[in-house]
Amino acid sequence: MITVIAKLPVKEGKMDEAMAAFQVLISKVASEEEGTVLYSLNRDKANPDVLVVVEQYRDKAALEFHSSTPHFKEFFEASTAFIGGRPEMSVMKEIQRAKP
């Protein structure tokens, strides 16, 4: 399992635009990406102008597939209108998980 955490600063006054773009992206991820286990959009409580995306992929191929999809590429291009700085990305390999 591969986990990605992306912290995305949003330009002032552009949060609604960012949320709308993510709504479209997340819908496509859910319906078209079999190897994506989790794609969760969150807002940083300490800094409400930062969105945090928590992503989990079954394997490296699923992550690569996500990055190559037309819907991700469209989102990435559109994000220049609302991303207000360099995103902070962390890519992790899962070591252990508690079973619910």
| 4 and 96 Cβ atoms separated by less than 8 Å | no
Hey, where are the domains in the chain?
2-93
In the chain, which ranges are continuous DSSP H helix?
15-32, 60-68, 70-78
Residues 56-96: tens digit of each pLDDT:
999 999 999 999 999 999 999 999 999 999 999 999 999 99
2-93 to CATH, choices 3.30.70.100, 1.20.1560.10, 3.20.20.70, 2.60.120.20: 3.30.70.100
Tens of pLDDT, residue by residue over 8-20, are 999 999 999 999 9
Cβ–Cβ under 8 Å, residues 11 and 83: yes
In three-state secondary structure terms, 60 is helix
Q: For residues 53, 58, 60 and 66, what is the CA-based torsion angle, rounded to 10 degrees?
A: -50
